[in-house]
Amino acid sequence: MNPAKVRVAVFPVAGLGTRFLPATKAMPKEMLPVVDRPLIQYAVDEAKEAGIEHFVFITGRNKGVIEDHFDRQFELEETLKKRNKTAALNELQADLPVAGQTSFTRQQEPLGLGHAVWCARDLVGNEPFALLLPDMLFKSSPGVLKQMIAAYEKTGKNVIAVEEMATDALSSYGVVGRGDGPDSMFEITRMVEKPAPGDAPSNLIISGRYILQPEIFDLIGRQSKGAGGEIQITDAMQKLMQKQGFTGVKYQGRSFDCGSKVGFLTANIVFALDRKDISRDFLTELQNAAINAKQ
């Protein structure tokens, strides 16, 4: 197959981040750092690696700093230059999208993830797009979106990344039903958002990465409220499934749900231990802290 290239990625970043108050009172949760990179940067890096050319951010009030993060900072760049901080300067420049590669639009009311995605309809237009929820951070190589693109290029369908989850945690996620096919590319038979205990169709959750066909927008526009009284992307996808196929990809790698404190803190530990510049010292401190914590 040779389906249309996935050029555009959508990043919903309008959430209030109430689980991280007071840190997120004035700062978007997507700017919380894992080691020294904000969460949103990891999601953009993953999209770039997968060949994405345009980055659409669904923002809200108090989120202006995300737009600043993806802009140049001349004063800072000049200062780094004068101080010969070449490595830091090069990293800043490498992280920057090319001019014209970003778009920002606001979700004016917190009506749910589905509604946030719907806000991107005019910016995406009539082409397939990737959807990345920056709360979900992955340690994987290749990146999760790149793994999904490989499945998309074979099937040309909608694609969802999934992973196994403990039964008692399933009701915090979207859960899919599994049909035929291998882990790398199987048929999805059903989707349920935040299933009640016992109603989950499997132990495979939606991991916050999607490749969707543009027909989803019309369905979201007509979608009534679902779990949590919000307009849910999962409900619209379940409707789209009546007309189009959905492929599940059980990705290779590990996720950190940075929407939760434990997930976020664990991500910081795992990513720090993987950093050549600090891993040795950090491991020593971590071991000391663990020994002391047991006492």
| Site for ligand G1P, rule CB under 6 A | 113, 133, 135-136, 173-174, 193, 205-206, 208, 232, 234, 259
Neighbour count for residue 174 (Cβ, 10 Å): 26
Burial degree of 85 (CB within 10 A; 0-12, 13-18, 19+): middle
As measured in angstroms, the least distance from the Cβ of 164 to ligand G1P is: 13
Cβ proximity to ligand G1P, 57 vs 80, nearer residue: 57
Q: Are 214 and 125 in contact (CB under 8 A)?
A: yes
Residue 8 vs 200, nearer CB to ligand G1P: 200
Residue 80 or 255: the one with the smaller Cβ distance to ligand G1P is 255
What dihedral do alpha carbons 204, 205, 207, 212 form, nearest 10°?
90
Least Å distance, CB 94 to ligand G1P, is 28
**Minimum Å distance from CB 92 to ligand G1P?**
29
Residue nearest ligand G1P by beta-carbon distance:
174
- Among residues 18 and 242, whose Cβ is nearest to ligand G1P? 18
Identity of the residue, 19 or 85, whose beta carbon is nearer to ligand G1P in the bound complex: 19
* Spatial separation of the C-alpha atoms in residues 207 and 187, rounded to whole Å: 16
What 3-state DSSP class applies to 160? strand
| Least CB distance to ligand G1P at residue 209 (A) | 9
Q: What are the b/e assignments for 109-133, b being 16+ CB within 10 Å?
A: eebbbbbbbbbbbebbeeebbbbbb
Minimum Å distance from CB 292 to ligand G1P?
33
